[in-house]
Amino acid sequence: MPATVGWVWLVLLFPLAGFLANGAISVLRLDAKRAVTTIGVGALVLSFLVAVAVMAGLAGAPADAPYVLSLWQWMPAGRLEIELALQVDQLSAMMLLVVTGVSMVIHVFSVGYMGEDPGYARYFSYLNLFVFFMLVLVLGANFPVMFVGWEGVGLCSYLLIGFWFENEAFANAGKKAFIMNRIGDVGFLLAMFMIFQAVGTLSFIEVFEYAPRAFAIGGTAITLITLALFVGAIGKSAQIPLYTWLPDAMAGPTPVSALIHAATMVTAGVYMVARANVLFAMAPISSFTVAAVGAITALFAATVALKQWDIKKVLAYSTVSQLGYMFMGVGVGAYAAGIFHLTTHAFFKALLFLGAGSVIHALHHAYHHTHSSEEAQDMRNMGGLRKWMPLTATFMWIATLAIVGVPGFSGFFSKDEILAATFARGHEAAAFYVLWAVGVVTALLTAFYMTRLMIYTFHGPNRSGEKEQQHLHESPWVMTGPLLVLAVLAIVGGLINLPAVLPGSGWLHHWLEPVTELSAAYLPEVHLSHSTEWVLLGFATLVAALGIIGAWRLLKPAALKPAREAPEETGIQKVLLNKWYVDEIYDTLIVRPIMWVSENVLWKVIDKGIIDGFGANGSANLARAMGWLGSRLQTGYLGTYVFLFVLGALILLRVVTGWEL
């Protein structure tokens, strides 16, 4: 193992130490803002540097088997030995760089954004802890360690979404995220269990090596396993039907939305599918399901984003949509493409969120000065902000061009590769053409709603108010600096994986080959002729242009009114604004019936004054109802107890003598 690769455990150590140190500062209520900043940001800088060293070490060494660094044996119990082991290979090193790099930038941004928040130390400790768990997830060498990271990031997400937990709605958003993640996790656990039953081990290297022997290609076992894994991914990466938590998660501080809900945690599902590429390649039905769910989610979320007024919600639905693209990519077997889009998305989505954060920060500041209680996140209260925040506007335009897929920007290359891969598989099944078409329509919608966002926020007349305008200004360098870095990445990021028709192509694809080659045996050989590629590239450009121009011409920012004066929406616009009423449907079909049953069963207990509401979790109320019944059995009379005792004894005796008595 190259020397620097062996340092990988340091990458975990720094954020963990940062969490403990800042956590202590927070619990002890020390007034040490400088220290918190140094520790919090410093930990990430150090992590990033080590990550670079690890990557360099890996790149320099011959690309043989992945390097596994075993830290210690956690539990030798029975057949299963769980090791706390880290795996450094091309995929995990790539993710390592992305996670530490983007996190570092966002940490710096947070210094400015959260500067005045009383929970400053707590914020940084949670953020560091999150990075720690994300790195555990990415570096794990076996399913259990990955699961520990999986759960850990879920926990941190909960803590950070509900950061301002005194606000009940925000705390509930955190709970919703946690619960939906949990539902997905059942899938992950089931998959782990099934894998262990079949293969007898849970370490990645071994599982992927034995898988071809243990499972029949396309058989029930492997399909169930991969579907179960995908269920976990659906929960974590906010795909249909477990996506509703992500828009609600916008309740947390904006840097949190940038880091967790754009760049890192939500991509864990994509990473997981890419990591288990062998398994998915062996189960074509599951792979197609992945791609189809991804495509449908992408389209659906894009339609909702068309009509949202809250700037963060637009970006949230955009994230769901882009995640759909990533799943489409890994679903059709283009694992490198999926990871590529994951990377570029991290750059431009983080940039978009941070930029939005800058804008919200500025508006908050302005409203604070004028003692107004307007909604700072509503785009109807913005407009023409490029006059006061030129830098932010420029950077966000760069990100917009990237996400829309304008040639030359990173998003263009990553999105195109996914679409090309989907198209290329079309000749084996027409369904893939359908997916490709869905992807193209989504791209059109993406261009439209992103341009809409930019127009309403930065262009046109300003709707914030006369007095507020005086207080609007560009954010300080600690906040715009990170934007600059991300903007540069959003532009040049595409270079790491240019399409085949261009020179210097496919660096990332080649880099990841040692990881993805295992699955190559099960995937059909796909080949796009150069001319088809050029046509697709051109088509993509055309679609992007159409979207942008369409939005520019059709939308009239001048006609907008500030949020409180805005008219009610009607018709299809209302449906889109209300997110197709999905939350309401969930509520009516699932939550309400369970709650009705338990409320009516528990009615009597209200006399005893024991009832305690359990929030929106209807299934918990059901279990409580059953528990209440059992509790009623505990009458307090000795006679009852003895009776049940004797009854139990008689039954036991009958069983033990085999009904001979």
Partner 1 sequence: MWPVIDLGLPGGVALALLPELVLTGCALCLTILVAWRHRSEEDQLLVGYLAAVGLVLTAAVVVVFWVSDVRAGGLESMIALDGFRYLTDLIVLLGALLTVLLSLGYLGRERILVPEYFLLLLYATVGMMFMGGGADLIVIFLGLELMSVSVYVLAGIDRRSVFCAEAALKYFLMGAFASAFLLYGIALIYGFTGTTNLGLIYVQTATWVFQENTMLLIGIGMLLVGFAFKVAAVPFHMWTPDVYDGAPTPITAFMAAAVKAAAFAAMLRVLLEALGPVTVVWTEIVWWLAAITMVVGNLVALAQRNLKRMLAYSSIGHAGYLLTAVASGTDFGAGAFLFYAFAYTIMTMGAFAIVAAAGRRGERDLRVEDLNGLAKRRPWLALAMMVFMLSLLGFPGTAGFIGKWYILSAALEAQNGLLAVVLVSTTVISAGYYLPVIMAMFMKPPASDDAHEHVTVTGAARWVVAATAVVLLVLGVWPGPAMDVAGQGGRDLRPSVMITVSK
Partner 2 sequence: MLLGPSLGLSAVLFSLGVAGVLFRRNAIVIFICIELMLNAVNLSFIAFAQQLGRSGQVIVFFVMAVAAAEAAVGLAIMIAIYRHKDTIDVREINLLRG
Nearest to 296 by CA among 308, 285, 306, 304: 304
| Non-local CB neighbours of 382 within 8 Å, separated by 6+ positions | 311, 359, 363, 456, 457, 458, 462, 463, 464
Residue 502 binds to partner 1 (criterion: CB under 8 A): no
Alpha-carbon gap, residue 265 to 268, rounded angstroms: 5
Q: 82 — phi, psi (to 5°)? A: -100, 120
To partner 2, the closest distance from the beta carbon of 656 in angstroms equals 16
Residue 637 binds to partner 2 (criterion: CB under 8 A): yes
Place of tokens 């193209």: 440
Q: Which of 3, 527, 657, 659 binds partner 1 (CB under 8 A)?
A: 657
Q: Which is nearer to partner 1, 75 or 558 (CB)?
A: 75
Alpha-carbon gap, residue 654 to 661, rounded angstroms: 7
Please tell me whether residue 70 adopts helix, strand or coil conformation: strand
User: Could you tell me the two tokens for 310?
Assistant: 């809250």
To partner 1, the closest distance from the beta carbon of 75 in angstroms equals 6
Residue 639 binds to partner 2 (criterion: CB under 8 A): yes
Stretch in the footprint of partner 1 (CB under 8 A) among 299-307, 488-496, 512-520, 626-634: 626-634
Residue 646 binds to partner 2 (criterion: CB under 8 A): yes
Q: Which is nearer to partner 1, 573 or 631 (CB)?
A: 631
Which of partner 1, partner 2, none has residue 216 at its interface (CB below 5 to 8 Å by kind)?
Answer: none
Q: Which is nearer to partner 1, 20 or 518 (CB)?
A: 20
Residue 118 binds to partner 1 (criterion: CB under 8 A): no
CB 450 within 8 Å of CB 318: yes
Residue 644 binds to partner 1 (criterion: CB under 8 A): yes
To partner 1, the closest distance from the beta carbon of 637 in angstroms equals 10
Residue 552 binds to partner 1 (criterion: CB under 8 A): no
Stretch in the footprint of partner 1 (CB under 8 A) among 7-15, 299-307, 425-433, 630-638: 630-638
Q: 562 — phi, psi (to 5°)? A: -55, 160
Burial profile 203-239: b = 16 or more Cβ within 10 angstroms, e = fewer: bbbebbeebeeebeeeeebbbebbbbbbbbbbbbbbb
Alpha-carbon gap, residue 226 to 290, rounded angstroms: 10
Residue 285 binds to partner 1 (criterion: CB under 8 A): no
Amino acid sitting at position 466: E
> How long, in residues, is the chain?
661
Stretch in the footprint of partner 1 (CB under 8 A) among 133-141, 349-357, 457-465, 642-650: 642-650
Amino acid sitting at position 627: G
* Cα torsion 319, 323, 328, 329: sign: positive
Q: Could you say which residues in the range 60-79 bind partner 1, by CB under 8 A?
A: 72-79
Residue 653 binds to partner 2 (criterion: CB under 8 A): no
* Cα torsion 342, 103, 232, 588: sign: negative
Q: Which is nearer to partner 2, 492 or 642 (CB)?
A: 642
Give the CA distances from residue 162 to residues 238, 241, 297, 334, in Å, rounded to whole numbers and listed in that order.
18, 22, 26, 36
Alpha-carbon gap, residue 599 to 606, rounded angstroms: 10
Residue 631 binds to partner 2 (criterion: CB under 8 A): yes
To partner 2, the closest distance from the beta carbon of 651 in angstroms equals 15
Please tell me whether residue 275 adopts helix, strand or coil conformation: helix
Place of tokens 């000065």: 369
Give the CA distances from residue 585 to residues 144, 572, 581, 592, in Å, rounded to whole numbers and listed in that order.
35, 17, 6, 10
Burial class (CB in 10 A: 0-12, 13-18, 19+), 40: buried
Alpha-carbon gap, residue 431 to 436, rounded angstroms: 9
Which of partner 1, partner 2, none has residue 572 at its interface (CB below 5 to 8 Å by kind)?
Answer: none
Q: For the window 119-158, what string marks contact with partner 1 as x by the rule CB under 8 A?
A: -----------------------------x--x-------
Residue 657 binds to partner 2 (criterion: CB under 8 A): no
Q: Could you say which residues in the range 157-216 bind partner 1, by CB under 8 A?
A: 165, 171
Residue 606 binds to partner 1 (criterion: CB under 8 A): no
Alpha-carbon gap, residue 399 to 411, rounded angstroms: 9
Q: Which of 24, 27, 429, 492 binds partner 1 (CB under 8 A)?
A: 27
Which of partner 1, partner 2, none has residue 76 at its interface (CB below 5 to 8 Å by kind)?
Answer: partner 1
Residue 649 binds to partner 1 (criterion: CB under 8 A): yes
Stretch in the footprint of partner 2 (CB under 8 A) among 289-297, 504-512, 524-532, 636-644: 636-644
Which of partner 1, partner 2, none has residue 639 at its interface (CB below 5 to 8 Å by kind)?
Answer: partner 2
Residue 600 binds to partner 1 (criterion: CB under 8 A): no
Residue 634 binds to partner 2 (criterion: CB under 8 A): yes
* Cα torsion 91, 97, 100, 102: sign: negative
User: Could you tell me the two tokens for 127?
Assistant: 């953020």
Residues within the interface to partner 2 (CB under 8 A): 631, 634-639, 642-643, 646
Residues within the interface to partner 1 (CB under 8 A): 27, 72-80, 148, 151, 165, 171, 610, 612, 614, 620, 623-624, 626-628, 630-631, 634, 636, 638, 640-642, 644-645, 647-649, 652-653, 655-658, 660-661
